[in-house]
Amino acid sequence: MDYFIKNLWPVIKRDIISILAYLGTIVTVNEVFDLFKIDIPQIIFAITLIVGILVIIIANWPKKEYVFNIKNRDIKIRLKIGNILKEKTAIIVPTNSTFDTNMENDFISIHSVQGQVQEKYFKNNINTLDYLMEKELENRQFTELTDRDKSKNKKYEIGTTIEINQNGRRFYFLADSDINSKGKAINPSTMNITDSLSRLWQYIGEYGHVEPIAIPIIGTGRMGIVKSREEILKYIIFSFVANNTTKKIATELIIYIRKEDIKKYNINMNEIVEYMKYTCKYQYEKLDNMSSGIGIE
């Protein structure tokens, strides 16, 4: 309900404009009929008016899902409001650069996507997840840390991505932040977001399965990025479009926003939807002719 309340005024403004335009059309049609002496019962105009207004209101009502096709590509971007773990597709799981899984003392928050994935798919079996991670991280470059005694001591580059499969589900764990020995983010920056997204798409483009992929708003939890969620969403949208110019990474990107975050962080859904629409329809043409840009390697 909070989502609908927050987004109601922009809807009302659009409704007013659309309804006024519709009324103008009805009046014009009525005058044309009068000009040609065509007698149309007023009840018909009244019914048409009411039905038209209802259609406008329903069409403009805040939605929980928005879908746009990237122009000239068989690729979609879908924006959904809800719980990403209910999605049946592959899921991007933001994690730290040491790929720690320890949830004691809230080292990994149960409220994070990683915490929820571990709780649902690896509960009482974190050793299996650690084993799968170590196997995927073989032959990856790392820096050995000397200040860790209760957490992992191998730090990988920001953007390092590994694929974990469990119970028929596919997860891409993405290192988007460095943490200290207490699990707190170190020097969070926008560069971490752009670098991690770029390397994520590169990894999936090379090793992925060309399938629908779901992603949360990365970098906005404990990573502590000061950018608004709107800005992070724009980074995600732009980077995905930019990295699909030469190779198809996925058939669909599903970006999830938690319902409670819309009011809590004052997310302007109309702004994001307009940005998605513009980027999918127009920006792609510019990117086709670019050799470099944000989120492109």
Same domain, 72 and 158: yes
3-state SS string for the chain: CHHHHHCHHHHHHHHHHHHHHHHHHHHHHHHHHHHCCCCCCHHHHHHHHHHHHHHHHHHHCCCCEEEEECCCCCCEEEEEECCHHHCCCEEEEEEECCCCCCCHHHCCCCCCHHHHHHHHHCCCCHHHHHHHHHHHCCCCCEEECCCCCCCCCEEECCCCEEEEEECCEEEEEEEEEEECCCCCEECCCHHHHHHHHHHHHHHHHHHCCCCEEEECCCCCCCCCCCCCHHHHHHHHHHHHHHCCCCCCCCCEEEEEECHHHHHHCCCCHHHHHHHHHHHHHHHHHHHCCCCCCCCCC
Output the pTM of the full model: 0.78
Report whether 230 contacts 271 (CB < 8 A).
yes
Same domain, 37 and 92: no
Same domain, 56 and 167: no
Domain range enclosing 137: 65-287
| Segment 105-134, tens digit of pLDDT | 888 989 999 999 999 999 888 999 999 999
Same domain, 21 and 110: no
Domain assignment of residue 175, yes or no: yes
Percentage of residues in the chain with pLDDT exceeding 90?
Answer: 47
**Quick one: pLDDT at residue 291?**
41
| Segment 146-159, tens digit of pLDDT | 988 878 999 999 99
Of 40, 60, 80, the position where a domain reaches its end is 60
- pLDDT over 80 (residue 280): yes
Same domain, 166 and 54: no
Domain assignment of residue 297, yes or no: no
Same domain, 41 and 150: no
174 bridge partner residues = 94, 161
User: In this structure, how many other beta carbons lie within 10 angstroms of the beta carbon of residue 194?
Assistant: 19
Domain assignment of residue 244, yes or no: yes
Of 60, 80, 106, the position where a domain reaches its end is 60
| Segment 210-267, tens digit of pLDDT | 999 999 999 876 666 667 889 999 999 999 998 888 788 999 999 999 988 888 888 8
Domain assignment of residue 32, yes or no: yes
Same domain, 7 and 135: no
The domain tally of the chain equals: 2
Same domain, 185 and 123: yes
Domain assignment of residue 269, yes or no: yes
Report the candidate in 199, 224, 206, 215 with the shortest Cα–Cα distance to residue 295.
199
Of 21, 44, 60, the position where a domain reaches its end is 60
Instruction: Give CA separation, 131 vs 138, 148, 297, in Å.
Output: 11, 19, 30
**Quick one: pLDDT at residue 106?**
84
Amino acid, single-letter form, for residue 211? E
Domain assignment of residue 296, yes or no: no
Same domain, 213 and 121: yes
Q: Looking at residues 159-168, what average pLDDT do you find?
A: 94
Same domain, 156 and 87: yes
| Segment 36-62, tens digit of pLDDT | 667 767 777 677 777 766 776 666 666
- pLDDT over 60 (residue 9): no
Same domain, 147 and 255: yes
Same domain, 49 and 153: no
**Domain containing 217 — which CATH number?**
3.40.220.10
Domain assignment of residue 236, yes or no: yes
**Quick one: pLDDT at residue 270?**
84
Structure tokens at 234: 């724009």
Domain assignment of residue 292, yes or no: no
